[in-house]
Amino acid sequence: MESKRQQKMASLLQQELAQVMQRDLPHLFGGGLVPSISSVKVTPDLAVARVHLSLLIGGDAPERLAAIKEHTKEIRFALGKRIRAQVRVVPELTFFHDDSAAYAAHMEQVLSKLDIPAAQPETDDDEAPETPRPRLFN
């Protein structure tokens, strides 16, 4: 369970990283689409931030994630310039691919292929006779 401090730091990092990737360093992504940040988790000592990126659009996700990991130092430096007045130490950034949207789309496709008959309304005539319950005590 995250503390308020961790939640505030995660929120700040998510907002500022989005600004860094969209405005300060868009050239790092080869002219492709800038990934969206789906979530940020921060360790209790605020030293490490796990950044989950949604890389659905714009090419091969593993290649794009590898390119982002290569430029982690530049991203952290640009982030540090933006948040230096609010934090003592800029956390180390570790990037991960968030494939929850792709998984949800896959599950939706699987569920749409199922042939589920419609539920029939119950009537009073179809009620089964009630079975007697066993007695536990005499």
**pLDDT score recorded for residue 100:** 76
Average pLDDT of the residues of the chain: 84
Q: What band does 68 get if pLDDT is binned at 50, 70 and 90?
A: confident
State pLDDT tens for residues 101-125. Answer: 777 778 888 888 887 777 777 765 5
Which tokens go with 48?
Answer: 């490490």
Residue 82 above 70 pLDDT? Answer: yes
